[in-house]
Amino acid sequence: MKAQAPAASNSKQASATTQSAAKTDPWLPIRFLLGSWEAKTTGGLAQAHASAGYSFRLELREHVMARHTRSGACIATDDFDCQHSDLLYIYSEGSGFKAIFFDNEGHIIHYDISIPKPGTAVFLSDAAQPGPQYRLSYTLLNGAMNGLFEIKMPGQADFSSYLEWSGHQR
């Protein structure tokens, strides 16, 4: 019996340590986003050929994660804004994450964030809101950050890829 007691105690300690790590680092599920990234478009309906940079960093004493973008070289159709810039603020709410997006074209998008697997974050806007629904996904795979911005117009059953990109940390 005495040999089993420490094992049970160690199991409880390991569980407490895991819970403690989650409490001390609430950003752990999306920490893979942090850093400065260079990206090049790889596809999507926008038909843009662009390079850009963006960074995710913790701000406001680590209460908010912010993504800042900057435009780079761009060749696109007339309806694509090659001078696009935006801000995305991620924050903790309840047991999950939410985000709000602003850009220089006047868009404001509220997102719920899910983490379907480690290294993947999916930002989904509310389908009940008027207008299109948006889905923004980031996946870190073999050191490359892959991004996908999709749109689902009212009445459509599926999302369509608007812009896809991939890049590495600077």
Please state the length of the chain. 170
* Plot region of 163 (φ>0 → left; ψ -120 to 50 → alpha; else → beta): beta
Type of residue numbered 149: F
What is the rounded distance in angstroms from the CA atom of residue 40 to the CA atom of residue 157? 29
**Is residue 16 predicted with pLDDT exceeding 60?**
no
Cα angle, residue 19 at apex, residues 16 and 20 outer, rounded to 5°: 80
Cα(150)–Cα(66) distance, integer angstroms: 21
Place 23 in a pLDDT band, splitting at 50, 70 and 90: low
Q: How far apart are CA 153 and CA 122, in angstroms?
A: 18
Q: What is the pLDDT of residue 14?
A: 46
Residue 70: predicted pLDDT: 86
Spatial neighbors of 123 by CB under 8 A, at least 6 apart, are: 99, 111, 112, 113, 134, 135, 136, 137
Q: How many Cα neighbours within 13 Å face the side chain of 146?
A: 9
Beta bridge partners of 100: 89, 110
Distance CA 165, CA 149 (A): 9
- What is the identity of the amino acid at 104? N
User: Which pLDDT tens digit goes with each residue over 41-88?
Assistant: 887 777 778 888 999 999 999 999 999 998 877 776 777 777 788 999
- In tens, the pLDDT along 139-154 reads 999 999 999 999 999 9
Mean pLDDT of 80-109: 91
Q: Is 98 in contact with 111 (CB distance < 8 Å)? A: yes
On whether the pTM is more than 0.85, the answer is no
Position 19 scores a pLDDT of 52
Q: What is the CATH number of domain 26-169?
A: 2.40.128.20
Residue 165 has pLDDT above 70, yes or no: yes
